[in-house]
Structure 1
Amino acid sequence: MNEIRYGLLLPSGQAQLTAGASARGLIDRVVDAERRGFASAWVGDSLLRSRVEPLTLLAAAAAATERITLGTAVLIPAYRNPVQAALTIASLDALSEGRLILGVGGGFPGISEPEFELSGVRFKTRFSHLDDTVRLWRRLWSGNSEPFEGAVLRYNWLPESPRPHRVGGPPIWLGGITPAALRRTGRLYDGWLPYPPEVDDFRDGLATIREHAATAGRDENSVTPALFATVYVDDDPERGRAGLRDYAETNYALPLETVERIQVLITGSPESVAAQLRSYIDAGARHILLRIAAIDPALYATQLDHVTALLPHLPAAATASSR
């Protein structure tokens, strides 16, 4: 787990599409990310902030690429029928020949409640629903279609699932850094995908996850530690800060000061951005997912060149070609 991987979040949101990007062009972005040497490409999921549906997009990306890992950052399982989603994901893993990582989450308080109401899932039971869904998926992917009874999900009859490429299905990573999320990650999940603005919170969270993994009888290194980081490269501090501010206000309709209390947002010169990322790597991060803080396609392309230029200067960069 010492090898460091770097991934790129695709600009698949409605804000980017409104600014001139296209759904078809996102496939070109994945192919380009593979060519540039990124080890992975990721897509988000939302009902409130409309975007290209992630599993559909990744299915197209799987057919257009050969080596790059494809992931969700993060998928909200509550927005889909659990059984149908299991069949879709197994098919996607087969199409990609095992290049899929499934980042999942339970929504965000104060934001996600309308999405859960629309999906018919109680927000109060979102974590039980999520854990039940993951257990159900793994059972179906292993070939077990016997009746299922979880904390909130119960099925007297289940169909057979298409067999995923990987035995048991794709790895499932959990987003979140609350004490409950850390405990559940250590006990149940294959990876951890948080975005804490403080390095010490990442370091302490990873230590807690490893403790819970050991308590559950798992190898403490069985959980891949990842990081979701938003970056804007600029030698001028004021321009860099303005770039982050524009992204926060356009993407979230929130002030930068609010977003940066929740997420890690990085700006500065190439050397400064690399140093800030290295601090998380020193704290244990092994798969760094980079989201470029740009809405306009032309600005995104410029920032992508800057971010790509960072890769050779970051620790032990593992590329798609080294899978």
Structure 2
Amino acid sequence: MDIGVLLPTGTAQWGEADDPRELIGFGRQAERLGFSSLFVNDSLISPRVEALTMLAALAPATDTVTLGTAALMPFLRRPVQVAQSLASIDLLSGGRLTVTVGAGFPGRFGRPLYTLSGVPWERRFTRLDETVALWRALWDGADHFHGEILRLDGIPPMTRTFRSGGPPVWLGGATSSALARTGRMYDGWLPYPPDPADYASGLADIRSAAADIGRAAEDITPALFVSVRIDDDVESGRRAMDAYARATYGMPLEELEKIQAVVTGSAAQVLERLGQYAAAGARHMVTRLGALGMRSQREQLERIADLIPAVQAEAEDVSAQTGSPLRTGHLA
């Protein structure tokens, strides 16, 4: 079981006196505390440190943690340029990059971003899958690519990735189409379902789709994106998470937890809930800290770090009982 953390790269999570350069120290602290991955978000809706820039800064500043996106939206950038950037980060990190991608959502997190990028909203899933296929072709040295949407010839030699074939590429999303596509062509799955039962059923669908084309279950890392806050005073913690939800999404906590995995409460309560996701099959948890301001973020980082051994033990117990091997991002 890998436990990672999402860095607070958005200005909505910073206090007035916070220095964004503290994010490098935050990442180093997470590595020292035992987190196995550092992830960053990607968006044009709210101001934030750009995702690939943040990962490039973290690459030489860290030693062992996986560096990931949760999730990168490729349509915001030119696909060949992104292939070059990702290869460069993979090289600078010594092969520690994992790339989760997504196509955006209807509403303000989708169509307006496509308009800003000059890319049509229609056929966005085909475009996403072709972009990933293009990256992989370029990382393998291809000089052309002929898809339904993307068609390129005479591509000059690209920067090669640290690893043959490039970094693992995961998909975020839990629609029936996303589950089938994950099983067929992606290296991992990073959703955020509010109910662990939905996670289990989604993972079963992915593995069924993978088996249909001869892929093994172990070829796909089952990950989870989950917002977490630990407080001795449960009600105080929920108020703090509500403030986080309103600052980040402009919606109250009771609405956010209907659409995303959110875990709050005492350490014991949080452990129990994360254990349910482990029992559902999650093997790499990317935790988003429900806190505003770097000081509060660091406090929550330490509290969650204290739970890492127990969460990992829960996953080991589940694995022993079910005979299902642990699958971690480092092995993807």
TM-score, normalising length from structure 2? 0.92
Could you tell me the percent identity over the aligned residues?
49
Q: CA deviation at 1:108?
A: 1.4
CA contact (8 A) 2:222 2:327 kept: no
Tell whether 2:14 aligns with 1:39: no
CA distance in structure 2 between the partners assigned to 1:229 and 1:12 by the alignment: 16
Name the residue aligned to 1:303: 300
Partner SS state of residue 219, structure 2: coil
CA distance in 2, matches of 1:258, 1:273: 19
Deviation at residue 318 of structure 1 after TM alignment = 11
Following superposition, the deviation at residue 219 of structure 1 comes to 1.2
Are the counterparts in 2 of residues 104 and 172 from structure 1 also a CA contact under 8 Å?
yes
Letter aligned with residue 294 of structure 1? A
Q: Is the 8 A contact 2:221 2:328 kept in 1?
A: no
Contact 2:75 2:103 in 1 (8 A): yes
Picking from 200, 208, 214, the partner of 2:205 is: 208
Which residue identity is paired with 1:45?
Answer: D
- 1:298 CA drift (Å): 2.0
Distance change >3 Å, CA 212–CA 318, structure 1 → 2 = closer
1:241 aligns with 2:262: no
Q: Is the 8 A contact 1:39 1:68 kept in 2?
A: yes
Report the Cα offset of residue 256 of structure 1: 1.7
- 1:282 matched to 2:299? The reply is no
Query: Is the aligned partner of 1:260 residue 2:245?
Result: no
What is the alpha-carbon distance in structure 2 between the residues aligned to residue 130 and residue 18 of structure 1? Answer: 35
Q: Any residues of structure 2 matched to 1:1-323 within 5 Å, and which?
A: 4-17=1-14, 19-111=16-108, 112-145=110-143, 147-316=144-313
Give me the whole-angstrom Cα distance separating, in 1, the residues matched to 2:148 and 2:26.
Answer: 40
Deviates more, 1:124-133 or 1:202-211: 124-133
CA contact under 8 A between 1:174 and 1:189: conserved in structure 2?
Answer: yes
> Taking structure 1 as reference, are residues 184 and 320 closer, same or farther at Cα in structure 2, changes over 3 Å only?
closer
Larger mean CA deviation between 6-15 and 118-127 belongs to: 118-127
CA offset digits 1:77-124 (Å, max 9, x no partner): 000100010011111101101000001111011122111110111122
- Provide, for residues 148-185 of structure 1, a one-character-per-residue CA deviation record: whole Å limited to 9, x for no partner: 12121111332221110010100000000000100110
SS of 1:195 mapped into structure 2: coil
State the distance in 2 between where 1:321 and 1:73 align: 16
Partner SS for 2:215: coil
Is there any run of 5+ residues in structure 1 with no aligned partner, and where? Answer: none
2:115 maps to amino acid:
E
Match of 2:316 in 1: none
* TM-score (norm: length of structure 1): 0.95
Render the CA deviation track for 1:221-280: whole Å, top value 9, x for unaligned: 211000001011012221121122111100011122221111011101101101100100
Q: What is the CA-CA distance between 1:26 and the residue it aligns to?
A: 0.7
1:294-323 CA-to-partner distances (Å, cap 9, x unmatched) read 122222122122111111222249999999
Opposite residue 164 of structure 1, the aligned amino acid is: T
Runs of at least 5 residues in structure 2 that lack an aligned partner in the other structure: 314-325
2:90 aligned partner, one-letter code? D
- Give the secondary structure class of the aligned counterpart of 2:156: coil
Q: Measure the CA separation in 1 of the matches of 2:238 and 2:91.
A: 42
Distance (Å, rounded) in 2 between the aligned partners of 1:79 and 1:256: 29
Q: Is the 8 A contact 1:38 1:320 kept in 2?
A: no
The Cα of 1:14 is off from its aligned counterpart by 1.7
Distance 2:185 2:299 in 1: 40
Q: Report the CA distance shift for 1:318/1:301 in structure 2 as closer, same or farther (over 3 A).
A: farther
Partners of 1:7 and 1:40 within 8 A in 2: yes
CA shift digits 1:13-45 (9 cap, x unpaired): 021245443331111111111111110011000
* 1:233–1:269 CA contact under 8 A, matched in 2: yes
1:137 alignment partner AA: W
Q: What secondary structure is seen at the aligned counterpart in 1 of 2:312?
A: coil
Cα contact 1:34–1:320 (8 A) shared by 2: no
Aligned residues, how many?
319
How far apart, CA to CA, are the structure 2 residues paired with 1:269 and 1:318?
Answer: 28
SS in 2 for 1:34: helix
| Partner Cα distance (2:59, 2:294) in 1 | 23
